[in-house]
Chain A
Amino acid sequence: DGGITQSPKYLFRKEGQNVTLSCEQNLNHDAMYWYRQDPGQGLRLIYYSQIVNDFQKGDIAEGYSVSREKKESFPLTVTSAQKNPTAFYLCASRPGPQGGEQFFGPGTRLTVL
Chain B
Amino acid sequence: AQSVAQPEDQVNVAEGNPLTVKCTYSVSGNPYLFWYVQYPNRGLQFLLKYITGDNLVKGSYGFEAEFNKSQTSFHLKKPSALVSDSALYFCAVRDMYNREGSQGNLIFGKGTKLSVKP
CB within 8 Å of B: which residues of A? 1, 4, 6, 31, 33, 40-43, 45, 48, 50, 54, 56, 58, 88, 90, 92, 94, 97-107, 109
Complex partner residue of A1 from B43, B102, B103, B109, CB under 8 angstroms: B43
Instruction: Indicate whether A56 sits within 8 Å of B102 (C-beta atoms), given known contacts A101-B34, A101-B46.
Output: yes
Q: Does B101 contact A (CB under 8 A)?
A: yes
In the bound complex, do residue A102 and residue B100 qualify as a contact, i.e. CB atoms below 8 Å apart?
Answer: no
In the bound complex, do residue A31 and residue B104 qualify as a contact, i.e. CB atoms below 8 Å apart?
Answer: yes
Q: Complex Cα distance A42/B106, Å?
A: 12
Complex partner residue of B104 from A6, A54, A98, A106, CB under 8 angstroms: A98
Q: Does B78 contact A (CB under 8 A)?
A: no
Interface size band for B: 20 to 34
Shortest Cβ gap from B41 to chain A (Å): 7
In the bound complex, do residue B102 and residue A41 qualify as a contact, i.e. CB atoms below 8 Å apart?
Answer: no
Contacting residues, chain B, for A105 (C-beta < 8 A) = 43
CB within 8 Å of A: which residues of B? 9, 32, 34, 36, 41-46, 49, 51, 90, 94, 100-106, 108-111
Contacting residues, chain A, for B106 (C-beta < 8 A) = 102
Q: Complex Cα distance A61/B64, Å?
A: 35
Contacting residues, chain A, for B108 (C-beta < 8 A) = 42-43
